[in-house]
Chains A and B, each alone.
Chain A
Amino acid sequence: DAGVIQSPRHEVTEMGQEVTLRCKPISGHNSLFWYRQTMMRGLELLIYFNNNVPIDDSGMPEDRFSAKMPNASFSTLKIQPSEPRDSAVYFCASSSSGVVQYFGPGTRLTVT
């Protein structure tokens, strides 16, 4: 199995631009999680999908952030407009058991 796939691995953009991060979960997993990791705040859960349906988005920082999961094999996290404080590593994780999560390699986002 290829594991969780994220793209791009690195993204550098200017403030105000739209950023789209992509995730392909492990085949057969029915839960998908988006996290953000910074030195200051550690690993924070942004949003969680179960069977393609958003279950909890209380961690999404503000309306500039949105996430979709149109099917079981693809999810996006969009930031529009981006701001320098959004700079972080964004992880996608998937799970079949509900508790054990398998993380992707992350997307390092830098907003200048």
Chain B
Amino acid sequence: TQLLEQSPQFLSIQEGENLTVYCNSSSVFSSLQWYRQEPGEGPVLLVTVVTGGEVKKLKRLTFQFGDARKDSSLHITAAQPGDTGLYLCAGVPNNAGNMLTFGGGTRLMVKP
């Protein structure tokens, strides 16, 4: 069992649809990050959330950190084919220094 559980694992949708990806844990995290990884490349940081209840927006992407800092969600509005990729959440458990723990990822495909 992973410390960070992501759901769904796979998601295939049509262009224009909305979607939400979840990242859950029973542990408290100092911060949570979301990365996007495209084929043949390394993960690229999208956002870091630090405060419980925090909401951050990045164009059509909305990120939320749970009040108890145990979970996070990523919502994409009007998905586009360019959003296709592997979305990874990662966090630093309390008192774990700066070692990131990664979730298993959500593989998103947006069809034109």
Contacts and interface: CB of A to CB of B under 8 A. Distances in A.
Interface string A5-47: 0000000000000000000000000010100000000111100
Contact of A99 (B2, B43, B98, B103): B98
A84 interface: no
Interface range for B: 20 to 34
Interface in A55-106: 55-56, 91, 93, 95, 97-106
Interface in B75-112: 88, 92, 97-105
A93 B45 contact: no
B42 A91 contact: yes
A4 B102 contact: no
A102 B42 CA distance: 8
A99 B33 CA distance: 9
Contacts of A42: 2, 102-105
What's the dominant secondary structure at chain A's contact region?
A: strand
Contacts of B31: 99
Interface residues of A, number: 23
A99 B92 contact: yes
Interface in B19-61: 31, 33, 40-45, 48
Contacts of A43: 43, 88, 102, 105
Given A45-B100, A98-B98, A106 B33 contact: no
Interface of B: 2, 31, 33, 40-45, 48, 88, 92, 97-105
